[in-house]
Amino acid sequence: MDSTVSVAGTVQPVPRVDFAPGPRYADERRCFGICSSIARTPGGRLWCGFSSGGTGEGHLNYGLVVTSDDDGASWTSPRVVFDTDGEGPIRTDHVVAWTAPGGALWLFWNQYPEGLCGPHSSLWAMTSANPDAAAPVWTPPRLIAAELNLLNKPTVLADGTWLLPTGSWQKQVASRPLLSTDQGATFVAGGELLAEPRPDFDEYMVVERRDGTLVALNRHPTSLLGCESRDRGRTWSRQQPIGVAHTNARFVFCRLPSGTWLLVKHGTLDWISTSHEAKNRNVGRSHLTAYLSRDEGATWTGGLLVEERDCSYPDAWVAADGQIYLTYERNRWHQPEILLAVFREEDVAAGRAIAAGTRFQMLVNRAGGSV
């Protein structure tokens, strides 16, 4: 494989992947931690990717992957690291773990040679057909797209199409998903997601209705934005506030095996109300709470409080048996933690833990350094 690739007219190095990371990437050496992702493979192994390195967001960031073979009770030290140029200018992060319908594990990540909003960002992926093996075999890094970022998992549509909710954080370039009808062999660009004013960071997620309409929700100050596509993501309606209040942060939006929709967000559904109690209970990135919709987004019910403390950037994997794995971050600048919650639809509906095996605040990783 070539050691360089052309991205947006610039020549950049192909990502360097380290499968035997040394002490440089040990937990006690790291300070910063952000943006986790979780997936479970057919044999039951959990894979969690996240970003670390440096003392804040910037060129010293790199991607890490850890695993668990006991359903999240314990985790390995970093076993995969994405760090193309060490202390060089390239920021490598936003690792997304995803198990494809055939059982292969995909790891997506981004490279930012000129910062998050620079014009030369690139999206990469590698896959393993045996992710539960002691030493999984991986494909070489593969360039998926230039000038696009990926923060959330693909959605598999009813006709088998894969929709990757990629975004552009350049203000002059609209965000759009990538579509694949051949199980990831090739990808084509879908339609633009437009809004006025535009979100500062497009971190949208997509769910398919029973009639085939696609619904995308996106982060935005005060209210989640929503839009629809009736042609499998090739065109989209303009994004509009949907009346579900939220702080300006990442969330989780997906469909459960039962057909029920899951939304995990900060605070209650109406925390922006004039209620003094609501304002003081739910402002900001705290009170991470799960809700259900049994009418495809018309109404939301339940309310399982997953994490009351300050936290951010949740990601979820829903197993075929309905078990929900949710990771999120705390203290991203000071001994940051990646934490895991495991629950089921009935817990969310009841607003409390009632299912066997429900667990909260399980430690995935803690970086020992601090700024």
Domains and CATH numbers, the chain: 1-147 (2.120.10.10)
User: Which class for 353: exposed (0-12), middle (13-18), buried (19 or more C-beta within 10 A)?
Assistant: middle
DSSP category for residue 72: T
Long-range interactions of 266-272: CB distance < 8 A, separation 24+: 266/312, 268/303, 269/244, 269/245, 269/300, 269/303, 270/245, 271/245, 272/222, 272/223, 272/245
pLDDT of 265 above 80: yes
Residue 283: the pLDDT is 59
Q: State which amino acid sits at residue 48.
A: C
pLDDT of 276 above 50: no
| Strands 301-307, 288-293: pairing kind | antiparallel
CB 72 within 8 A of CB 364: yes
CB 33 within 8 A of CB 51: yes
Global pTM reads 0.94
Which pLDDT band, with edges at 50, 70 and 90, does 137 fall under? Answer: very high
Q: What is the pLDDT of residues 139-183, one digit of tens each?
A: 999 999 988 888 899 999 999 999 999 988 887 788 999 999 999
| Region 309-333 average pLDDT | 96
Nearest-angstrom CA–CA distance, 26 and 182: 38
Q: Three-class SS string for 187-240?
A: CEECCCECCCCCCCCCCCEEEECCCCCEEEEECCCEEEEEEEECCCCCCCCCCE
- Mean per-residue pLDDT of the chain: 92
Of 269, 270, 252, which Cα lies nearest the Cα of 261? 252
Residue 147: the pLDDT is 83
